[in-house]
């Protein structure tokens, strides 16, 4: 795959074969995927063949191989010009995202309560592959309420406070969700998992604000140097996975009817305005609302532990998704267009003044939350005016090794000892789960963020460092 360096931190994949637009990769030379080990750049080119795609097929600096779309891929299609929606452009963990909470506790005061706090979180946070949740829903009607209203329903039922909704993307719920478009199998998989962390790279991490890059914006977000924070990373669990599976199969069957051909069956898609496209977006929105409620329930579990152990509270800084397709209006070639923006492993980063921001964040821009790999720093960013890639930025460090490869390089027991020797308390569900998430399996998140900022995608606000982690 030939890349042409257009500008610092920006490389171009020229149009070829059936590509409708070029590919654009935001990277340093060190972060460009090894084509012999990682086929993500080929996937960038494949995404560029989708009907209705505009601008370019974009890759964030944390890009790596995924299902159909690369993880770290962004693509927008013109809804009014036959543009399509592709479940592979969202992924299996629909609305997987990150939530950051700020504690009224300084890191210097944490050592006296750290073990009790971590033990409490360890016991309170359901996680792993199986069932188990904070909220035991009684019937399908209650689950449908979660699918329609997400965090709003959770707060209505007493699991949070109204301010939480102001600090959540879409004010806690995606509109146009329709539980009727969610299969019975997806419902069965999701019924017992609302308020659970899951496995893989999902986590709850106790952190501290180690460095503030922009004091004005950090203050607007509610952050200050030395402050203890909690970061939660999880998504829609088995429900979202099943919805993706269901609609990939449906769209595989309907593409011939619509005259759509794609170079990879994992890019199965349908016109946004088709029955299948509308049904998928309605089901995807339901899964997104499930994920928002999931993080809201975990927030309340963490709040109970902090209140009991420290006597203090946790205020929501922001909750943002990084696996979603959204209908948005953007200017393309000087014309306002209605686009279906796919962000897979990519975070929306709205600039200051954007109409979708709550009033208290409007002057500062939208917080974009970028977790590092286990044991490394995380970052809080903000959107900037005039950014490329439809107001999107990176979502994390990005894998360089598979989970299987990671387990061959380190034992979970050894990794835990190494992290704890650095003052990071670890509560893991399994030794294998820890080994799969070794920092050596990921890119350097600091370099990823530097590239994202250098490419004009976002701006750094604060750097967070880990003090304790609860892993699935």
Alpha-carbon distance of 43 to 49, in angstroms, equals: 10
Residue 392 marked ligand-binding = no
CA dihedral 250, 96, 402, 428 (to 10 degrees): -130
Q: Convert 340-353 into a string of H (helix), E (strand) and C (coil).
A: EEEEECCEECCCCC
Residue 471 marked ligand-binding = yes
The two three-digit tokens of residue 197, written as one number: 């962390």
Residue 106 marked ligand-binding = no
Q: Which residues are catalytic?
A: 395
Residue 183 marked ligand-binding = no
Residue 204 marked ligand-binding = yes
- From the number of C-beta atoms within 10 Å of its C-beta (0-12, 13-18, 19+), residue 330 rates as middle
Residue 398 marked ligand-binding = yes
Strands of 65-186, DSSP E = 71-78, 84-85, 97-106
> 334 vs 20, 56, 330, 331, 337, CA distance in Å?
19, 15, 9, 6, 9
- Contact assessment for residue 23 and residue 11, using Cβ atoms and an 8 Å cutoff: no
Would strands 10-13 and 4-7 be described as parallel, antiparallel, or unpaired?
antiparallel
Residue 294 marked ligand-binding = no
Alpha-carbon distance of 206 to 419, in angstroms, equals: 14
Residue 354 marked ligand-binding = no
Residue 231 marked ligand-binding = no
Q: What angle do CA 306, 308, 312 make, to 5 degrees?
A: 50
The two three-digit tokens of residue 430, written as one number: 């399994």
Residue 326 marked ligand-binding = no
CA dihedral 195, 196, 202, 204 (to 10 degrees): 70
- Contact assessment for residue 389 and residue 74, using Cβ atoms and an 8 Å cutoff: yes
| DSSP run (H or E) holding 153 | helix 140-156
CA nearest neighbour of 165 among 323, 310, 299, 25: 299
Compute φ and ψ for 185, nearest 5 degrees. -65, -40
Three-state secondary structure call for residue 415: helix
Residue 271 marked ligand-binding = no
The two three-digit tokens of residue 38, written as one number: 């990682």
- Contact assessment for residue 323 and residue 87, using Cβ atoms and an 8 Å cutoff: no
Residue 235 marked ligand-binding = no
Residue 381 marked ligand-binding = no
The two three-digit tokens of residue 183, written as one number: 């299969």
Would strands 53-64 and 71-78 be described as parallel, antiparallel, or unpaired?
antiparallel
> 211 vs 108, 215, 235, 336, 457, CA distance in Å?
15, 10, 28, 39, 20
Alpha-carbon distance of 194 to 185, in angstroms, equals: 16
Three-state secondary structure call for residue 55: strand
The two three-digit tokens of residue 201, written as one number: 């790279």
Known binding-site positions for Mn(2+): 93, 202, 233, 322
Known binding-site positions for GMP: 201-205, 322-323, 371-374, 378, 395-398, 471
Known binding-site positions: 93, 201-205, 233, 322-323, 371-374, 378, 395-398, 471
């Amino acid at each position: 795959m030939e890349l042409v360096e257009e500008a610092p931190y920006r490389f171009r994949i020229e149009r070829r074969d059936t590509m409708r637009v070029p590919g654009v990769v935001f990277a340093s030379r060190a972060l460009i995927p090894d084509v012999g080990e990682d086929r993500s750049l080929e996937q960038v080119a494949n995404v560029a063949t989708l009907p209705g795609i505009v601008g370019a097929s974009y890759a964030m600096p944390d890009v790596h191989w995924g299902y159909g779309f690369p993880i770290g891929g962004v693509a927008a299609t013109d809804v009014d010009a036959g543009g399509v929606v592709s479940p592979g452009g969202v992924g299996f963990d629909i609305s997987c995202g990150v939530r950051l909470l700020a504690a009224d506790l300084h890191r210097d005061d944490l050592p006296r309560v750290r073990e009790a706090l971590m033990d409490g979180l360890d016991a309170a946070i359901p996680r792993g592959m199986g069932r188990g949740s904070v909220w035991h829903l009684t019937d399908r009607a209650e689950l449908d309420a979660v699918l329609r209203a997400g965090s709003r329903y959770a707060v209505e039922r007493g699991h949070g406070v109204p301010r939480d909704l102001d600090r959540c993307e879409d004010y806690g719920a995606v509109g146009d969700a329709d539980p009727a478009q969610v299969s019975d199998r997806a419902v069965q998989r999701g019924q017992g998992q609302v308020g659970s962390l899951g496995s893989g790279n999902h986590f709850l991490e106790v952190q501290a604000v180690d460095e503030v890059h922009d004091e004005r914006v950090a203050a607007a977000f509610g952050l200050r140097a030395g402050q203890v924070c909690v970061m939660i990373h999880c998504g829609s669990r088995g429900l979202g996975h099943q919805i993706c599976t269901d609609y990939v199969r449906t769209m595989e069957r309907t593409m011939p009817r619509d005259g759509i051909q794609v170079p990879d069956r994992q890019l199965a898609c349908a016109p946004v305005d088709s029955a299948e496209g509308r049904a998928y977006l309605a089901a995807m929105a339901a899964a997104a609302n499930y994920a928002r409620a999931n993080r809201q329930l975990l927030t309340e579990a963490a709040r109970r532990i902090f209140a009991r152990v420290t006597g203090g509270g946790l205020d929501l800084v922001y909750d943002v998704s990084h696996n979603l397709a959204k209908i948005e209006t953007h200017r393309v070639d000087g014309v306002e267009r209605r686009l279906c923006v796919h962000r897979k492993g990519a975070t929306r980063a709205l600039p200051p003044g954007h109409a979708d921001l709550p009033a208290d964040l409007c002057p500062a821009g939208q917080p974009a939350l970028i977790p590092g790999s286990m044991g490394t720093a995380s970052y809080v960013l903000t959107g900037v005016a005039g950014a490329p890639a439809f107001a999107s930025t990176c979502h994390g460090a990005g894998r360089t090794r598979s989970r299987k490869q990671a387990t061959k390089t380190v034992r979970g027991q050894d990794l835990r000892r190494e992290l704890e020797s650095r003052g990071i308390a670890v509560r893991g569900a399994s030794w294998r789960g820890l080994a799969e998430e070794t920092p050596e399996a990921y890119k350097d998140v600091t370099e990823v963020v530097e590239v994202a900022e250098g490419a004009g995608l976002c701006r750094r606000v604060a750097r967070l460092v880990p003090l304790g982690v609860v892993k699935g």
